[in-house]
Amino acid sequence: MKARKPLLIKDHLKSLYRIATNPKMLGWSPEMFWKATAAEFEMTVEGLSGNVRGRPFISREEVRRIAAEHGVRPSLKGSPNARTIGS
């Protein structure tokens, strides 16, 4: 059996970008795509497809567990070297 080539994040991003910017799908601008969070993108696709789950994709308990595991860290947005992708 032939080994499957692993999917890379760039391949996923290309697919998501095409969905987001296609006028027959979401019709977002490239800027809107790059500024959207994964949760916003997921909820938009769910809403347009009629497949609304009615619950967050991650629970508050899971967020608390992850935060406790990794500790408090300063926001990258506050860094003087922070840049928006594509700008």
What is the overall mean pLDDT for the chain? 81
Indicate the pTM of the whole model. Answer: 0.50
28, 36 contact by CB (below 8 A): yes
The arithmetic mean of pLDDT across residues 23-50, rounded, is 88
20, 32 contact by CB (below 8 A): yes
Q: For residue 43, how many other CB atoms are within 10 A of its CB?
A: 16
pLDDT of residue 17: 93
pLDDT per residue as tens digits for the range 38-77: 888 888 888 887 776 666 667 888 888 888 888 877 777 7
Rounded distance between C-alpha atoms, residue 65 and residue 58, angstroms: 11
How large is the C-alpha radius of gyration of the chain?
A: 17
